[in-house]
Amino acid sequence: MLPEIVIIGRPNVGKSTLFNRLVGKKLALVDDQPGVTRDRRLGKAELLGLHFQIVDTAGYEDEDPETLPGRMRRQTEQAVATARAALFVFDARAGITPLDEEIARWLRTTKTPIILMGNKAEGRAADGGLMESYSLGLGEPIAFSAEHGVGLAELFDALRPLI
Ligand code: GDP
Ligand code: MG
């Protein structure tokens, strides 16, 4: 059985774009509107010869985390707890938001290895957000661009010891 890697993060950071890039097909719905991914999506992923199952989650896809349906959040937390590793994606152009901090606070309490990914980092506009992300207490971010394929080798290096 392939190890399971789960993608987590607030809406619109590029989780589904990352999922699509790793799966190589347009399986996950990508949209400018948050909240498009309504359930978990599974796919077989390949990254520079590494093979794993990838899970695109939607448990934090709600504008107001206080009104988040508990069932969806529990499903996401369950997915992280049982995964080999979690890819925590933030928007490096937008910088760190309160919801990023809330997710990070919870992720720091899990035993699952977390790989921090600053997405949309195809230009200098991401530099500030990447610096800010050290405050999340989850280590060094990978400067990534799901859309442009930047940072794939760094993601490979982070995943290889875990798979
Ligand atoms: P999700 O809500 O986290 O699943 O995010 P999506 O994958 O649906 O992407 C949200 C928006 O960000 C879309 O408009 C994507 O085209 C855009 N996006 C995703 N990855 C990148 C990237 O690497 N760079 C830039 N500039 N935009 C991206
Ligand atoms: Mg999505």
Q: What is the CATH number of the domain that holds 115?
A: 3.40.50.300
ipTM, interface predicted TM-score of the complex: 0.99
Question: Which residues lie at CB < 5 A from ion ligand 2?
Answer: 15-16, 37
pLDDT of the chain along its 163 residues, tens only? 899 999 999 889 999 999 999 998 655 555 545 544 455 688 999 999 999 999 998 766 554 555 545 556 777 888 999 999 999 999 999 999 998 998 999 999 999 999 999 999 999 999 999 999 999 999 999 999 999 999 999 999 999 999 9
Tell me, using a 6 A CB cutoff, whether residue 21 lines ligand 1: no
Task: Give 106 Cα–ligand 1 centroid separation in angstroms.
Answer: 23
- pTM of the complete model: 0.90
Q: How many domains does the chain have?
A: 1
Its domain, for residue 93, covers 4-162
Task: Give 46 Cα–ligand 2 centroid separation in angstroms.
Answer: 19
Alpha helices per DSSP H over the chain: 15-23, 70-82, 98-107, 127-132, 152-159
Tell me, using a 6 A CB cutoff, whether residue 7 lines ligand 1: no
Q: How far apart are CA 163 and CA 51, in angstroms?
A: 8
